[in-house]
A and B are shown apart, each in its own frame.
Chain A
């Protein structure tokens, strides 16, 4: 399958450092898959293994169904956009973009046309004669993208491509990258440590932690069905609350302190577990009621489009986000919390 990427139990060690524990993954052609995780978890290493810039310590790597484990980077039909852009400082923008074509030995006119077209794709028509040092960061970044895509690679790799851009530009460029990827039908592997960025651009997200995959799935899956507390907290924030599962059949009964709750969930195993309570699922009321949980506001921040509270309650410290039009509270106020059991999820303790 052209454009697919497959790892079979790939490991990578640098001396004593284990950068990847046995890792298997499958990336479908034409999709944009994000490797997401905290710094040092092995994302870049995984990307470099796909590119052929590192060789796997053990295991097999397949691209387009073909075993490339021992194939050098030169011959893999994969291009990469580097975090530092890695534009060649002694070549013009056009020479940079046409570099991959020219090392293939294509005729000059064709190189020129395709490089121009590449620049046009990223919206830099007419910048070809400049040197990289004469472009802004965002423009340099787009040159790097153009340079990678003019080769029509089977797989496009991007290593934190937005990390050197300012926040406004970041949203814009990530949309552009996504559009280009979809228009050209490219398979793309995108590395980032920013979960919002990952959610926004990805077809699938592979969350990594400690040199292995923590969970993979569509953005929706990860948010809605987190496999563990780490994912629940990493993908959209979560309050994680210790509970115990009393019994589980068509619905699940849990004990939260001395309260009993019934969740519309199936198949949870009995015993200790953690409850995932998203900050914006919490509702704050001034009046007490039997099913409401009292809490004290320890801090309140007004952000214009939301209000964020830190609350201290019998369930520990909770983080809540409310609509600014709802009733406002101040530090020291006592509030009473409610939530809809249908919004709650359980993860293993």
Chain B
């Protein structure tokens, strides 16, 4: 345990900070480019990358015990459940072709 518990060094913190700043700038720049259907994909991709960096280094998960990994993983799994079931609704709303589903179009 004691061994896994050393945290990130100041150097790593600075590197993380720099990459977060860079990704933020990138987000802003990308927002002004028209990538068609990839607009959202790219924006969300950058956001997820930033979240991963924060979780791994700032929140020390990279250095934590396996139980912590399990709990962090569970959080992500449940987030995916939220997305999957909610999307299942949006995707299948039009299937019946009834008035209620026109509302979204």
Q: Do A and B come together as binding partners?
A: no
B residues lining the A interface (CB < 8 Å): none
